[in-house]
Amino acid sequence: MTTATEATSVRTAARVVGAVKVYGSGDTAVRALDGVDVDFAAGRFTAIMGPSGSGKSTLMHCAAGLDTLTSGAAYIGDTELGSLDDRRLTLLRRDRIGFVFQAFNLVPTLTVAENITLPLDLAGGGGDPEWIEALVDVVGLRDRLHHRPSELSGGQQQRVAVARAFAGRPDVVFADEPTGNLDSRSGQEVLGLLGRAVRQMNRTVVMVTHDPVAAAHADEVVFLADGRLVDRMEAPTADLVLDRMKAFEVRS
Ligand SMILES: Nc1ncnc2c1ncn2[C@@H]1O[C@H](COP(=O)(O)OP(=O)(O)OP(=O)(O)O)[C@@H](O)[C@H]1O
Ligand SMILES: [Mg+2]
């Protein structure tokens, strides 16, 4: 049952405040993030969109503790990432964040089952067997568990990476162009999977994409241009997202 308080207070899984990221220095300095404030609500699927070079990957990497901000702050839940030393940051990434990248990054010598539970095994615990079982079914890999990645299609490999990202029930899963290396059908499967993880398994996903069709799978889209947050869109459709992207291109 949901109380009135729960219904109105949205928990934030991740956020950045006044986020500035400058690469390099002097004449060659690039201001990849130029004062971004954004929050990613728990239990939602958010897409980050914007033209190439607008700072999408930088935002994701800084929000996920893979890179540090030049100024401003990044939070996972209530934890400010800048306050953590390297060891605690590594533990936070391991225990509270899942990642999916364009290149599937599976370990070729391990089976599908071993790849899925690798983060948990590295953490020294087996995780929750019932959760892992449910995940294996959601991603549809039950009959591939003892295969190696090289024996799978690209779409199947990315589904393994998705299962691995969710294996430890992280607070948030960050995905950078997860369908970038897939044909459209496999891409749709992976996107459907991310959507089901959010809606049926109460997970949180933040996905970087430049594909309006991919963004339409999200609950909300945030738009970046030139390192700034320029818009947000609830209940996106591919057509609405495409129109919005075209508007940026005309202006820039
Ligand atoms: N390690 C780096 N060193 C220097 N400049 C960088 C570095 N990483 C990114 N940049 C620059 O920062 C800006 C934002 O890059 P970012 O990779 O975040 O863009 P993006 O929106 O993810 O683009 P794409 O859609 O092409 O992946 C770009 O101008 C890029 O050239
Ligand atoms: Mg990128």
C-alpha of residue 20 to centroid of ligand 1, in Å: 13
Q: Is 196 in the pocket of ligand 1 (CB under 6 A)?
A: no
Q: Is 32 in the pocket of ligand 1 (CB under 6 A)?
A: yes
Instruction: Answer whether 208's CB lies under 8 Å from 57's CB.
Output: yes
C-alpha of residue 22 to centroid of ligand 2, in Å: 16
Is residue 14 in some structural domain?
A: no
Closest Cα to atom 1, ligand 1: which residue?
23
Query: What pLDDT does 2 receive?
Result: 47
Query: What pLDDT does 121 receive?
Result: 86
Could you say which ligand is closest to the alpha carbon of residue 210? Answer: 1
In the chain, % of residues over pLDDT 90: 86
Q: Is 30 in the pocket of ligand 1 (CB under 6 A)?
A: yes
Is residue 113 in some structural domain?
A: yes
CB-proximal residues (5 Å) to ion ligand 2: 57
State pLDDT tens for residues 59-95: 999 999 999 999 999 999 999 999 999 999 999 999 9
Is residue 3 in some structural domain?
A: no
For residue 189, give its domain range.
Answer: 45-52+85-251
Q: Is 28 in the pocket of ligand 1 (CB under 6 A)?
A: no
Three-point CA angle 58, 59, 63, nearest 5°: 115
Query: How many Å apart are CA 229 and CA 118, to the nearest integer?
Result: 35
> Does the pLDDT at position 163 exceed 70?
yes
Is residue 16 in some structural domain?
A: no
C-alpha gyration radius of the chain: 18
Q: Is 29 in the pocket of ligand 1 (CB under 6 A)?
A: no
Q: Is 54 in the pocket of ligand 1 (CB under 6 A)?
A: yes
Closest Cα to atom 18, ligand 1: which residue?
55
Is residue 59 in some structural domain?
A: no
Q: Tell how many helices (H) and how many strands (E) occur in the chain.
A: 9, 10
Is residue 189 in some structural domain?
A: yes
State pLDDT tens for residues 100-143: 999 999 999 999 999 999 988 888 877 788 999 999 998 999 99
Is residue 148 in some structural domain?
A: yes
C-alpha of residue 17 to centroid of ligand 2, in Å: 20
Q: How many domains does the chain have?
A: 1
Q: Is 46 in the pocket of ligand 1 (CB under 6 A)?
A: no
Question: How many beta carbons lie within 10 A of that of residue 164, not counting itself?
Answer: 26
C-alpha of residue 8 to centroid of ligand 2, in Å: 34
Query: How many Å apart are CA 94 and CA 117, to the nearest integer?
Result: 12
Query: What pLDDT does 9 receive?
Result: 61
Q: How far is CA 190 from CA 186, 200, 239, in A?
A: 6, 15, 20
Short-list 207, 215, 222, CA closest to 238 = 215
> Does the pLDDT at position 198 exceed 70?
yes
User: How are beta strands 220-225 and 45-49 bridged, if at all?
Assistant: parallel
Q: What is the DSSP string of 10-69?
A: PPEEEEEEEEEEEES-GGG-EEEEEEEEEEEETT-EEEEE-STTSSHHHHHHHHTTSS--
Least confident segment among 121-130, 183-192, 223-232? 121-130
Measured in whole angstroms, the distance separating CA 128 from the mean position of its chain's CA atoms is: 22
Could you say which ligand is closest to the alpha carbon of residue 29? Answer: 1
| pTM for the structure as a whole | 0.93
Is residue 35 in some structural domain?
A: no
- Return the structure tokens found at 53: 């070079």
The CATH number that applies at residue 196 is 3.40.50.300
Query: How many Å apart are CA 198 and CA 218, to the nearest integer?
Result: 10
